[in-house]
Each structure stands twice: as C-alpha cells, then as structure tokens.
Amino acid sequence: MPTIAVRDLVIQRRENDLVAASFGRSFFVLDDYTPLRTLSEDLLQQRAHMFPIKDALWYVQARPLGGGEKASRGASYYTAPNPEYGATFTYFLRESLRTRRAERQDRERRAARAGEDTPYPSWEELKAEDREESPAVILTIRDEDGNVVRRINGSTSSGIHRTTWDFRYPSYTASSVQNPGRGPLAAPGSYTVSIEQRVDGVTTQLVAPTPFEVAPLLEPTLSPANRAEVLAFQRRAGELQRAVMTASRVAGAAAEQIGDIKSVIEVWPGADPSLREEARALELRLMDLREVLNGDPTKPRRNESAMPGLTSRVSTAMRGSYATTYGPTGTHRRNYEIAASQFAELLPALRQLIEVDLVALEDKLEAAGAPYTGDRLPNWQPD
C-alpha cells in the first residue's frame, strides 16, 4: 500500500473485509481481517499459531475472458484481482527458518559490528552448507478420515502469512510438479490443516490439525452429482493418465536411444552391420506403439484430422470433468473406457520392446565393445 492519506474506512461485515479509500490512489481491500482481532501478546510468544479458519466456499471458477485476469485484452482493459480462490489459512511464525549459511552470515555480521574477528569457516562446515536443503514450512490438508489430500508450501519467514488451498488434489503427472494443483476437485465437507517445518531434513509439527469446513457456494439447479462417485472416477482416470503419460515419456526416451544405437552401429568397426537392421525393426515397432499413445502424426502435419491417441483421450476424460461440479459426462466416461482398453493391450507390447528386446540389442553392442547409449551403468571391471 503506498504512503498516501486514507480518507475513509468501511467494514464489509458479511465477509469481514476492511476497505480503505485513499486520496487519489484508488482503494484497497484487506480480505477477512478476523485474525487481527485475535492477536495478543501471549499468542505472539508461541512458536507458531494457526488463526481460526473461515468456512471456504466451494465452486468452480468462471473464466469469462477465456484466460487469466485480463486474458488477451491488454493493459488498458481494467480488472482488479479477486480474493484467492479456495480455503485460506492465516498462520503466524515467531522466528524465521534459516539455513546454516544464513545463520553463519548473521553471526559474522554481528561479530563485525562488534569489532570481533570473523574466521573463515572450515571445509567441513562449507560442505555441510552446500549439501543442506532449504528449510520449508508445509501445510498438510486432510479429509475427515485423516487421509492426506494436499501438501502446500508456506512462507518460512517470521510474521503473519496467508496461503490458499484451491480445493484440488495434486496432479497425477510429473510435468505438473511445479504447478501441482490440477488434480481432481475435492468434495465439500470437513477437513483439517496442520503445519510442519522441515529443517535440515528433519520434519517437526508446529501446529496440530485445525478443523475447517468446505461448503458449496450455491445450491445446484440440476440434481447434484454424487461427489464420492465423481471423485472415484477422477482418481481412476488420474491413475490411467499417470500410467499413459509415463509410458509415453519412456517410449520417447527409447526412440532417442534407438536413434543413437543406429548411429553407433554405422561407425563402430566391431559392430555387425546386421544389428542396424535389428535396430530399425525395433524403431518401426516403437513408432506403431507411439502412434497408439500419441495419435497419428502423419495426417495432422498435413492439416487433416486423425483419431486421437491415448494421451488425448485420457486428458479429455480428466480435464473435461474437472471444469464442472456435476461430474463426468458420457463422453468423458467413454473416452476413459477406450483409453483403458487400448492401454491394457499396448503396455505388454511396450514392455517387451523396451525391457527385453532393446536390452538384448544393447547386450550385443556391449559384446562388440561399442560406445554406451542410453542411461545405463557401464559393465566395467578393473584390470
């Protein structure tokens, strides 16, 4: 908030928001200032504290512009950010979590200000600093049965902080690790959140599980779906997506390895030229399997439509059902059934190619003393 005169204050009593109107610099909203009313000297002496959690309103966000806050409208299109979507947790940390390096540098600064010596750290101390993980504050959300739903990282600095859970389970795909909140939508109900710290690899609980409620924002116009059945479908589809995406990634790595193998065979004197034909046969088989996984690449390259691959079908089954509170449609369920059936046939063939046939070809190259390809440890013995 800029340094500016505030001419008016208003409390939005339904949401307990504090609105401050400034002189010439618009107005500002402090969402739910309830935690500030509970502050006390005793509370500030605690190691950590979770403030009372407001009931979280459950819904699926609309995107009227089709994208982010401004979508493609440009800076001249005025928008203002909404409050964070989901269940918001406000917590307090008395002290910051710091690494060994930060603590050492702080000691050195204090010693320098006092005119004392600041000796250079030992090699063992520097190695311990280099290997140390950054400290972390973790908020763990559990359902009413005690099952972990999500883990969220929070701020590690001292003071009052806020973080929000968007009602999502984590993503099933490794490519979404940096943006994990794209899993199934959790159902309304009772939940708890606890706070742990992880310092130098040791996890310690700071705040015991604190209950909160997730409640629907509106009563649905249509008959509400059975959320337990919807979640069960999304989890089955998520498990299939996890397997299909992993198979696609492994198949891609195998294709690169076979390309390297062909290049090695062409230049290595001790390699039997017939191995080149064997590698090419594996490559063609793998192309057929990857086409089932990812779809026909030939027609789309020439602006013609083609049947979707397994990755597309399972993505439709997953993400299509994410955008509604009514659950998967018949199309979503049919895409899941087709993808599950085709993947059950494809996986044994892919396993045979990568784990058996490709390994056998590598063994023949090993016997010929050819350079290594792929990510495997060498068969080396000392003289």
What are residue 163's DSSP bridge partners?
89
Question: Between these two residues, 65 and 179, which has the higher pLDDT value?
Answer: 65
Judge if 351 and 276 occupy the same domain.
yes
Q: Examine residue 279 and state whether it is found in any structural domain, yes or no.
A: yes
How many domains would you assign to the chain? 3
- 284 and 170 together in one domain: no
CA distances (Å), 252 to each of 15, 26, 136, 257, 274, in order? 51, 53, 35, 9, 24
Decide if 378 is inside a domain: no
Q: Mark whether 241 and 338 lie in a shared domain.
A: yes
Question: Encoding tokens for residue 359?
Answer: 């390994």
Q: What strands, in cross-sheet order, belong to the sheet with 87-93?
A: 48-50, 87-93, 159-165
Q: How confident is the model at residue 209 (pLDDT cuts 50, 70, 90)?
A: very high
Q: What is the pLDDT of residue 66?
A: 76
Q: Are residues 188 and 51 in the same domain?
A: yes
Q: From the CB of residue 327, how many other CB atoms can be counted at a distance below 10 Å?
A: 17
Identity (one letter) of the amino acid at 308? P
Q: Do 163 and 231 reside in the same domain of the chain?
A: no
Q: Is residue 77 part of a domain?
A: no
Q: Quick check: is 237 in a domain? A: yes
Last residue of a domain, one of 191, 216, 241: 216
Tokens of 301: 């390259």
Asked if residue 166 and residue 140 are part of one domain, the reply reads yes
pLDDT, position 181: 56
Q: What is the pLDDT of residue 108?
A: 94
pLDDT at 383: 80
Per-residue pLDDT averaged across 349-376, rounded?
92
Q: Is the pLDDT of residue 321 over 60?
A: yes
Q: Is the pLDDT of residue 174 over 70?
A: no
pLDDT at 180: 58
Domain boundary residue, one of 188, 216, 244: 216
71 within some domain:
no
Examine the pLDDT at 175 and tell me if it is beyond 60. no
pLDDT in tens, 221-252: 777 678 888 888 988 999 999 999 999 999 99
Domain range for 191 is: 39-61+84-97+135-216
Q: What is the pLDDT of residues 247-292, one digit of tens each?
A: 999 999 999 999 999 999 999 998 998 999 999 999 999 999 999 9
Q: Would you say residue 285 lies in a domain?
A: yes
Q: Is residue 105 over pLDDT 80?
A: yes
pLDDT digits (tens, 9 = 90+) for 23-51: 888 889 999 999 999 999 999 999 999 99
One domain for residues 300 and 357: yes
Do residues 165 and 48 both lie within one domain? yes
- Out of 216, 235, 266, pick the residue that ends a domain: 216
Domain of 44, CATH number, reads 2.60.40.4070
pTM for this model (two decimals): 0.84
Averaged confidence pLDDT in the chain: 90
The answer to the question of residue 380 being in a domain is no
Identify the helix (H) or strand (E) that includes residue 326: none
Residue 167 and residue 261 in one domain: no
Model confidence at 67, pLDDT cuts 50, 70, 90, reads: confident
Quick one: 178 and 32 in the same domain?
no
Q: Are residues 31 and 49 in the same domain?
A: no
Q: Residue 125 domain-assigned?
A: no
Same domain, 233 and 287: yes
